[in-house]
Amino acid sequence: MTATAVVTGASSGIGAATARGLAARGYDVVLVARRADRVERLAAELVGAGHRARARALDVTDRAAVDAFAAELDSCDVLVNNAGGAVGTETVAEADPADWRAMYEVNVLGVLHLTQALLPLLVAGGAGTVLVVGSVAGHVVYEGGGGYAAAKHGAHALAATLRLELCGQPVRVLEIAPGMVKTDEFSLNRMRGDADAAEAVYAGVPDPLTAEDVADAVVWAVTRPQHVNIDLMVLRPRAQAAQHKVYRVAPEQG
């Protein structure tokens, strides 16, 4: 029987790249995201390439919708909790609590909703895997990142706690924590659509991580032998030694 992998946030970036990677490894991939047109187009691409894929429009913060989605599945062997994101770079003193709430709901409660809803299937399959795409922000804080760091710390705590609670059950709990990744939407969304501000995040940085780099790590972790648990993998580009230590090439002087 073909193993089924559910990937959230599959409409773009790391989620879409992960879906492609898992499909290429033979998984029946269920693409989950709010934007139906995006996941339907990706599912069609994968099916056209000879893979197995299905699209499902879903908001991971809507528990009733998540439960209805879970009820439609006959099986689930892998859950990649990738849906997430950051909003704003304001200081703690100036941040809008609504932004913090939105980040917590998608980065933490979204993971909780999908994990709770699909856990019975993951256990029943006898070899389940729950993977959380976290962030280095879930381990080290930085100025202007309070809300995002708090949310990703929450996602890390959820994964670590779940691993303890499932000890002895046939389900692995993995976490991949990327550093600086340049995708089409992450920084653009964080900067509220300001393309110049979003591009400035990566200015002068040689070779930041790509969505495919992170997806490669996700697929590798998921496809290890079932007795191997990748508790935590931190990925950074070589140019990023730490949150506050990033090598940037100075622009040429005219």
Residues annotated as catalytic (active site), given as ranges: 148
Number of Cβ within a 10 Å radius of residue 56 = 19
User: Measured between alpha carbons, how far is residue 192 from residues 5, 92, 140 in Å?
Assistant: 31, 18, 23
Judge whether 195 and 138 are in contact, CB under 8 Å: no
Which of 96, 140, 131, 127 is closest to 9 using CA atoms?
Answer: 131
Distance CA 28, CA 203 (A): 38
For residue 168, the surrounding DSSP H or E stretch is none
Q: Which residue is listed with tokens 């856990």?
A: 119
Distance CA 48, CA 236 (A): 33
Which of 63, 173, 53 is closest to 114 using CA atoms?
Answer: 63
